[in-house]
């Protein structure tokens, strides 16, 4: 994938703003609605969002550090790496969500969760928007970040943003589906 850097940043910013708005809507729900699950193997709305918070705890500081330390100048075009493009596309929501195994340390099932989960997510999204803005000064191609699944793999900053933001979007779609199922269950 090859794209103008400004367009990529703009698209990722819009998705992040939309994710933020969706979660702000969840703040209007009762704690019962936020913790409702269709079965013991599925996630509640709060579990979907907490899963994202667990990843943000790693990626927000990692991206911030790499932007601060980057010596590479901004380029007009971003060219996704093969692995980064694969991971990014895998994160995009589909009509029928393809289930993926979650790492144990990122699985919130069984956690006692409250509305602070939503507040934390909103805070992480504001930080993400700030980092997207800061990334206009560095190379999204040459600036590399560590990733959670392997200490020896690194992704281009542009791909890391795509993976994290698409992953957020994927699980917000999942949380919205939980709410829809809840409505059908109550009928």
Domain count, the chain: 1
By the 10 Å C-beta count (0-12 exposed, 13-18 middle, 19+ buried), 64 is classed as middle
Domain that holds residue 109: 2-186
d(CA 61, CA 131): 10
Segment 78-96 shows an average pLDDT of 89
What digits encode the pLDDT tens for the residues 2-60? 999 999 999 999 999 999 999 999 999 999 999 999 888 889 999 999 999 999 999 99
Output b/e per residue, 14-23; b: 16+ Cβ within 10 A. Answer: ebbeebbebb
pLDDT greater than 50 at residue 160: yes
| 12-16, 36-40, 67-71, 118-122: least confident range | 36-40
Instruction: Dihedral sign for Cα 187, 93, 150, 117, please.
Output: negative
Q: Higher confidence at residue 103 or residue 170?
A: 170
d(CA 164, CA 88): 8
Q: Higher confidence at residue 180 or residue 97?
A: 180
CATH code, domain with 149: 1.20.120.450
Segment 119-132 shows an average pLDDT of 98
Residue 100: pLDDT band with limits 50, 70, 90: low
Give the predicted TM-score (pTM) of the model: 0.92
Residue 118: pLDDT band with limits 50, 70, 90: very high
């Amino acid at each position: 994938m090859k794209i103008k850097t400004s367009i990529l940043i703009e698209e990722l910013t819009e998705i992040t703003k939309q994710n933020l708005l969706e979660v702000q809507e969840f703040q209007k729900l009762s704690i019962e609605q936020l913790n409702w699950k269709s079965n013991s193997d599925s996630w509640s709305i709060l579990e979907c969002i907490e899963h994202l918070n667990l990843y943000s705890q790693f990626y927000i500081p990692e991206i911030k550090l790499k932007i601060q330390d980057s010596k590479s100048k901004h380029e007009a075009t971003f060219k996704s790496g093969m692995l980064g493009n694969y991971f990014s596309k895998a994160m995009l929501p589909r009509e029928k969500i393809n289930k993926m195994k979650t790492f144990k340390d990122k699985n919130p099932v069984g956690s006692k969760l409250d509305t602070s989960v939503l507040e934390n997510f909103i805070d992480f999204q504001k930080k993400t928007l700030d980092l997207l803005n800061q990334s206009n000064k560095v190379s999204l191609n040459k600036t590399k970040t560590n990733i959670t699944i392997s200490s020896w793999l690194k992704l281009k900053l542009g791909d890391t943003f795509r993976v994290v933001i698409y992953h957020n979007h994927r699980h917000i779609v999942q949380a919205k589906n939980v709410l829809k199922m809840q409505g059908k269950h109550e009928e």
